[in-house]
Amino acid sequence: AQSVAQPEDQVNVAEGNPLTVKCTYSVSGNPYLFWYVQYPNRGLQFLLKYITGDNLVKGSYGFEAEFNKSQTSFHLKKPSALVSDSALYFCAVRDKDNAGNMLTFGGGTRLMVKP
């Protein structure tokens, strides 16, 4: 079975500081990894994904994530946080080697950026 863990319910950071939102995963094969962001009363917006290739993935709004196979992690990062980045962030995984597997989401991490 595949699973995702987001160990922090909430991350607080001051505007202008770097931010990290943690994600670890478990799959039996190789992973497809995704980050989505959810604003209040909105659906999930795609930020970035890792499929193959370069371990550092760059996405929308200045976000990036690093795939670390040995640590089974895919942490989301941004060099300088904005107040408008405050939202709920979800990490998701699919097992690339099991074609029938669906996308499994973590429980979400609320990011609070304070001015």
Partner 1 sequence: GAGVSQSPRYKVAKRGQDVALRCDPISGHVSLFWYQQALGQGPEFLTYFQNEAQLDKSGLPSDRFFAERPEGSVSTLKIQRTQQEDSAVYLCASSLYRLAEGGTQYFGPGTRLLVL
Write out the residues near partner 1 by the rule CB under 8 A: 4, 32, 34, 36, 41-46, 49, 51, 90, 92, 94, 96, 99-100, 102-108
Q: Which is nearer to partner 1, 78 or 108 (CB)?
A: 108
Please give the backbone phi and psi of residue 98, each rounded to the nearest 5 degrees, phi first. -125, 95
Shortest distance (Å) from residue 92 CB to partner 1: 8
Shortest distance (Å) from residue 102 CB to partner 1: 4
Shortest distance (Å) from residue 111 CB to partner 1: 15
Nearest to 91 by CA among 10, 54, 37, 15: 37
Shortest distance (Å) from residue 7 CB to partner 1: 14
Q: How far is CA 102 from the centre of its chain?
A: 17
Q: Which is nearer to partner 1, 83 or 103 (CB)?
A: 103
Q: Which is nearer to partner 1, 49 or 77 (CB)?
A: 49
